Amino acid sequence: MEKYVYIYSFLLFVVEIEEATIGGWFQRTTLHLTEVFDFIQKAKSDYLDTDQLRPLRNGLGVESTERKNWLLEYVEARSRDKVLFKFYEDGLVVLRKQVDGDVDSVLDELQNYYDDRLSPHFLS
């Protein structure tokens, strides 16, 4: 983990960054959450063939998927690369990963995962 030291007046602050987070938004509804969950969990869709979806889903490298209901309903998945991503019912998408080294490299990894692996399946 990276530590940053800030000196303000006569106070000394040490900040340790434990987790990196990026996010975005695109319009989704509860119906779409069902489709997202089915795609990530089982490579299933009412509109496309499972044999075509399976390679796309496998490209995400997902090792676990859950549908949860907290203040908002969301689908949560974790990749083999330890990227945790959530799709919320209001369209918010959040990606997180623990920082165990350089925070900039973890942010780059999250951005690359979003741009190269996640977005092509949901935004195209």
Tokens of 6: 């800030």
* Domains identified in the chain, total number: 1
Which CATH number covers residue 60?
Answer: 3.30.310
Structural domain contains residue 23? yes
Identify the band that residue 15 occupies on the pLDDT scale cut at 50, 70 and 90.
Answer: confident
Cβ count within 10 A of residue 57: 19
Q: Which of 22-26, 34-38, 77-81 has the lowest mean pLDDT?
A: 22-26
Structural domain span for residue 107: 18-122
Residue 47 lies in a domain: yes
| Kind and range of the H or E run holding 64 | strand 62-69
